[in-house]
Chain A
Amino acid sequence: MKAVRAIEIRGLKKSYNGFQALKGVDLEVNEGEIFALLGPNGAGKTTLIRILAEGLGYDSGEIRIFGEKLSKKTARFIGYVPQESIAYDLLTVEENLKFYADLYDAPKEKISQLIDYFDLPKKKKAKELSGGLRRRLNLAIALLYDPKILILDEPSAGLDVPSRRELWELILGFRKEGKTVLISTHYMEEAEALADRVAIMNEGSIIATGTPEELKSLVGEESIIQIEGLLNGLERLKDKFRLVEKDGVARIHVRTPRESLPEIVETLVRAGSEIRVIKIEEPTLEDVFLKLTGRGLE
């Protein structure tokens, strides 16, 4: 059976003051799936999302929502959860929801349902909420008029690990309810944990789309040697291996770990490195991005 397209984008282009933020994006998001836009900051994810959810103008291309052209009417199918809090600090949770319910002409009984669903303290002012609760309030606001598509911009940015896990559970719950979820993220763990399909964005273009497994297969037969410690001399390895280094952890792509490992360790030790941990791992989406673009996600 052919999947119903919740979002269909063809040749979308958008420029700001001479800078081309989107260079002809093609994208299809199926109904009921969680779809992740993965890419570093500045890849064009937020621009694409603002076009879909906030009515930001674009230069050319076509956007269809459930087969209909994107308009004020079809935008009603979309609920948007921006990265920043859209709640008013001085209003309570309940007052914020009442305000947005008036704005979206949503039924009033939905307010108490959402307060219960997200376990929100209804009498607390928004400024008194933790980061996790604020994000949940944003979600509740987006769900006031029961949209079929939920778009989340960097949903777990700035959250601690427990709050992030709770949020992921909620997002996975939306899929069970039949909602289509589009998330933009630069955390590959988030994309891997949540998404049915992933589109990798870089410099205004989508460079690969598929399930996480399909994308990882792009890395080929390669394995990853992960080395942690005080690392010196990584630049000496760059001519021979593809590698990315972040927070004292180097991920080095190799075809034959058994043969490459001694050479890598010797080079690093000679350069004065203090190696603490060495692991040999399967590739992640970050490695896919590295393979496709030659640089890391951040």
Chain B
Amino acid sequence: MKLRAVKGIIIKDLRELRREKMALFWIFIFPLMWITLFGTMWGGHNPPVSLDVGVVYTNENSAFTAHNVTEIMGNVTLEGVHIFRIKKFASEESGISALKHGKIDSLVVFPPGFGRNVSTGRQAKIYVYFDRSDPQEYQIVRGTLMAFFSEMEKRMREKKIEIQLEYIEKYMPTGEYNITPEAVREYLIASAEPLRIEEKEVSGNAPTPIKFYITSFIGIQFLFATMLTIGSGTLEEIEKGTLRRIAASPATAWDFLAGKMLSTFFIIMVSIFVGLVYSRVVFGETIVPSPLGWLIIFTASVFSMSLGLAIAMATRSIKSTTAVVNFISMPLLFLAGIVIPESIIPSWARPLTEYFALGRALKDFRLLEIYHRPVRDIMPGLTLVGVETAMMFLIALFLYRWAMKRMEV
């Protein structure tokens, strides 16, 4: 191998890249835009949910009425945000119409007699309407509203128990039974609330959203920038005829390939480094890969370069290479778990995260660098990625040799 020639090819590629504005955009700016966009949307602190809730009730002359319930709802705040914005409707029909047209998120109907029933200790009914056309929004709205009524129901039960206890203490004969009012109180409270659940927080190893999107950015670099840089770069040299000149020089087509792969690798590493620093500066969080993490990045980039080169040598056209890379990479962004978590990938696509080298490499990288899983947990995956990379590398070399032969250099 002619080291001076290889060095010359690397320097030439870097100089060209520095002056190629479109390439700079796709390699550096586009992935940073990705981190910024997703980091801003989902990476930071999200304000509490706030819902528009329609209510329908009739005014009653009771101790506790539907109007009191809606007032309580309107006053519920979390972190200074009103959870429910109450809108009163004259009739159930008008409320349902507003819900159907998306003007409100839910409708709560208090039938006539609600206040009287509650105030006299009878069971009272509430009708709650939801729109299920958006399953995710339905879950959020239902969960929030039902949590409120569940809490309110609990408070009402406690109030009723207090009233009952007043009577028990007043009328229970003392000394006749071996039982105290305090024991009766505990029993009744436990009947009303058999389980008391208290929330406690720990700082776990689960990924923060921004760390997840940093790994997504690395995956995007492999799926697009790496493949296109080496594929199109090699084809440009073939189409321009400079590769023929290189091959006719003391350097060989293999020296050229070595230079091209090293320059691509260097460019991608710099872009990943820039992304990691950018994330630290803008979002205050980043990933500092361990040596094994860098090894995964290196292996994945070799796989990606090999795949890009193989596509370019098979199509032998820059336009076709760009089209094929986009055709392959676009669905893989989602189906191989590059930009969305594996948990929401459809089951039929999950093998891609397990067996497709880039999906698997990213999964193992996340396990290692975000969840801090021990090395032994990721070794099987890493071995698979290594084998697939070696195979793809050989295929790329074979196709490159075939293309050189067809070019007769």
Mark A residues whose CB is within 8 Å of B: 50, 53-57, 72, 75-76, 80, 82, 84, 86, 88, 90-91, 95, 98-105, 125
Contacts and interface: CB of A to CB of B under 8 A. Distances in A.
B267 to A, nearest CB: 15
Nearest to A141: B245
B245 A80 contact: yes
B79 to A, nearest CB: 53
Given A102-B5, A102-B11, 14 more contacts: A54-B244, A55-B409, A56-B408, A56-B409, A72-B250, A75-B248, A84-B241, A88-B12, A88-B16, A102-B7, A103-B5, A103-B9, A103-B246, A104-B251
B408 A86 contact: no
A84 B241 CA distance: 9
B12 A95 contact: yes
B61 interface: no
B245 A99 contact: no
A143 to B, nearest CB: 14
Contacts of B45: none
Contacts of A82: 241, 245
B376 interface: no
A90 B15 CA distance: 8
Interface string B236-263: 0000111011111111000000000000
B242 A105 contact: no
B4 A55 contact: no
B409 to A, nearest CB: 6
A113 B244 CA distance: 26
Given A80-B245, A84-B241, A102-B5, A91 B250 contact: no
A91 B12 contact: yes
A54 B7 contact: no
Which residue, B19, B246, B249, B408, has most C-beta atoms of chain A within 10 A?
A: B249
Contact of B242 (A55, A88, A90, A102): A88
B75 to A, nearest CB: 65
B341 interface: no
B2 interface: yes
A74 B7 CA distance: 24
Nearest to A82: B241
A105 B16 contact: no
B8 interface: yes
Contacts of B11: 98-99, 102
A76 B250 CA distance: 8
Interface in B262-296: none
A95 B244 contact: no
A103 B251 contact: yes
B176 interface: no
Nearest to B245: A86
Interface string B179-223: 000000000000000000000000000000000000000000000
- Contact-residue bracket for chain B: 20 to 34
A91 B15 contact: yes
A78 B240 CA distance: 21
Given A54-B244, A54-B409, A99-B8, A90 B249 contact: no
Contacts of A53: 248
A90 B247 contact: no
Q: Which 4 interchain pairs have the tightest Cβ spacing?
A: A102-B8, A90-B19, A99-B12, A54-B248
A75 B11 CA distance: 25
Contact of A55 (B15, B248, B251): B248
15 contacts: A54-B244, A54-B245, A55-B247, A56-B408, A80-B248, A86-B240, A90-B16, A95-B15, A98-B8, A98-B11, A102-B7, A102-B9, A103-B249, A104-B249, A105-B4
B239 to A, nearest CB: 11
Interface in B56-105: none
Contacts of A103: 5, 8-9, 246, 249-251
B12 to A, nearest CB: 4
A142 B242 CA distance: 13
Nearest to B247: A55
Contacts of B9: 99, 102-103
Contacts of B134: none
Contacts of B19: 90, 125
Interface in B123-158: none
A90 B22 CA distance: 13
Contacts of A80: 245, 248
Contact of A54 (B8, B12, B15, B247): B247
B253 to A, nearest CB: 10
B10 to A, nearest CB: 10
Contacts of B249: 100, 103-104
A102 B248 contact: no
Contacts of A54: 244-245, 247-248, 409
Contacts of A50: 244
Contacts of B242: 86, 88
Contacts of A56: 408-409
B246 A91 contact: no
A144 B60 CA distance: 101
Contacts of B4: 102, 105
